[in-house]
Structure 1
Amino acid sequence: MSLAQILQWNLSLFLLILSRWAGMIILAPVFGARGVPTFIRLSLAGCFTVIVYPLIFATHPTIPSELLPYIAVVMKEIFVGLVIGYVVYLLTAIFQGAGQLIDFQMGFSMASAIDPVYGAQSPLTGNFQMILATMLLLATNAHHYLIAAMVKSYAYIPLNPSKLPIDYLYFAGLVAHVFSLSAQIALPVFGALVVSDIGVGLLMRTVPQFNIFSVVFPVKVIFGLIILILTVPFFGEAVSHLFNIDMTWLLNLYQGWKQ
């Protein structure tokens, strides 16, 4: 091959690797935060591409030389990165769902905050739990495992995969697991507030002259915050367990996508 062809092949390989990393960084927690400038995200994807490039180059992948087939391969790689980023993003969705349940019971559902990670509206408690979980993941270097899992994807899903995941039951199961885990995270506070509502109902039946609505809202807020504070010491273990579950989902995705 001529020097121009060698340069073209290497550039094409670099862009394919960059496409997968860029797709993952768009959706993955921490990396895809809205507060992170686009230039920083692209630079981060480029740095990962430079590091991974020699590993992929050693496998001598087949790259189409025609324009349209090459664009199709680029789209495939972006899709692979988006799917991986989506599975990792489900970890964030669990805490948002738990916060939604807690806020609904505490009466905070009408006052939603702006999510500093993705810039969308999110529940107040879910916002707090998500930020706390992100700090714990960074403090324990869990993002290193995410990078390692992304590198491992090339062992299961080579460049230009011949098939795409069509097992819709797998993704439906992920959604079901997200709802289930969200309910489990919210259960201590949600359950305590339900019990308090039952007590308030019994009090209203016993003393109907008492205007319970003037005190029930602040009492529920204070009671909910106390239960939430009491569960904080166990939050780190819950985040670690959920992260392991999320990595298991990612491994199942790779195995189902294995060529």
Structure 2
Amino acid sequence: MLELYPDQLIELAFSFLLPFFRIGAFMMALPLIGSNLVSVPLRLAFAFVFSVIITPVIKMPEFDAISLAMAALIFEQLIIGVVLGFVVTVLFQIFSLAGQLAAMAAGLGFAMSNDPANGISVATLGQYYLSMAGLAFIGVNGHHVMFEFLIESFTYWPVGGGFDSDKYYDLVRLGGWLFEKALLMVFPLTIAALIMNLSFGVVAKASPQLNIFALGFPVIMLFAMFFYWVMLEDFLDIFRLFFNEMIGWLKNTWGIRVDG
């Protein structure tokens, strides 16, 4: 007959809770799943099921269940889960930032819409790009890769492994990658809009009687909309390129082996 003593039950419970805190924090920080579109109880239920599945295969360190060390381990798992979710968030924010930069370059920065996922107002083009990125993420099975990424993190970043400052510094450098890719996406439109503005400026200088502002603003907007329409053809390829770069960053920088 199987007998479980109170000390064993407490240890078993905390062995489950440590992965649960990491997975729960990851679900809260992950785009799409971590947005307001998915209720908190549903995210916690999914984290609970996921923790039950992977807890038996996770190597747990020796710990005292009722101690300050356990509180430190719980805090560690929460931070790691948020950090892992932030890595995926950076990929989505590339398209959100690119859309907002493109809107400002085309004179459409005034067109704002409510973001139901985050509860804030953003540029309409930024929200459009973000929605397209979410659809592409699901379409290329990115959510499967992210779950594999989460499981592999227990091998690379084990429970009780401590806080490695180099890993957090890598996140700071990842922010530079975000701005680089967002600027690359809008660079052609920015250069074209600059050339058009300079052209209208020359015309306004040569013929002051013309109302260049009334003429130039709708022309630039029409050109920008045409640019967005042309870009839609390559949007999925652009997303795949950035997604594969993120997978390569995880492999080369953090050593996490995932299939992209």
- Establish whether residue 24 from structure 1 lines up as the match of residue 1 from structure 2: no
- Compute the displacement of 1:103 (Å): 1.0
1:211 aligns with 2:207: no
| Distance apart, 1:112 and its partner CA | 2.5
Alignment match, 1:5 = 7
Corresponding residue for 2:86?
86
Q: How does 1:218-257 map to 2 (within 5 A)?
A: 218-252=218-252, 254-255=254-255
Correspondence 1:85-234 to 2 at 5 A: 85-166=85-166, 169-234=169-234
- Compute the displacement of 1:168 (Å): 5.7
Q: Secondary structure at the match of 1:61?
A: coil
Question: 2:29·2:82 contact (CA, 8 Å) conserved in 1?
Answer: yes
Shift of 1:60: 4.5
- Deviation per CA, 1:148-207: give whole Å up to 9, x if none: 011010111111213333466423321211111100111232222222212212221222
Q: Does the CA contact (< 8 Å) of 2:76 and 2:163 recur in 1?
A: no
Q: TM-score, normalised by structure 2?
A: 0.90
Shift of 1:252: 4.8
Deviations 1:237-256 (A, max 9, x none): 11011112222333455349
Higher relative contact order (CA 8 A, sep 6+): 1
Cα distance in structure 2, aligned partners of 1:65 and 1:36: 32
- Matches of 1:124 and 1:108, distance apart in 2: 9
1:42 to 1:252, Cα distance in 2 relative to 1, 3 A: farther
The 3-state SS of whatever aligns with 1:19 is helix
TM-score, scaled relative to structure 1 = 0.91
Aligned mates of 1:118, 1:251 — CA distance in 2? 30
Letter in 2 for 1:76: E
Compared CA separation, residues 19 and 10, structure 1 to 2 (3 A)? same
Q: 2 CA distance for matches of 1:81 and 1:239? A: 24
Whole-Å separation in 2 of the counterparts to 1:28 and 1:48 = 15
Distance verdict in 2 for CA 1:168–1:78, change over 3 Å: closer
Distance 1:168 1:156, change over 3 A: closer
The Cα shift of 1:83 comes to: 0.8
Over the matched positions of the two proteins, sequence identity in percent amounts to 26
Structure 1 spans left out of the alignment, 5+ residues: none
Tell which deviates more after alignment, 113-122 or 149-158: 113-122
3-state SS of 2:165 partner: coil
Q: Distance in 1 between matches of 2:18 and 2:227?
A: 49
- Asked whether the equivalents of residues 13 and 63 of structure 1 are also in contact (C-alpha less than 8 Å), the reply is no
The aligned amino acid for 1:155 is T
Per-residue Cα deviation, 1:77-133 (whole angstroms, up to 9, x for no partner): 000001111111101111121112111112222332222332223222111011001
Amino acid at match of 1:86: F
The question of whether the paired residues in 2 share the 8 Å contact of 1:93 and 1:178 is answered with yes
For the pair 1:49 / 2:61, whether they are aligned, the reply is no
Deviates more, 1:98-107 or 1:64-73: 64-73
Query: Equivalent of 1:40, from 31, 42, 50?
Result: 42
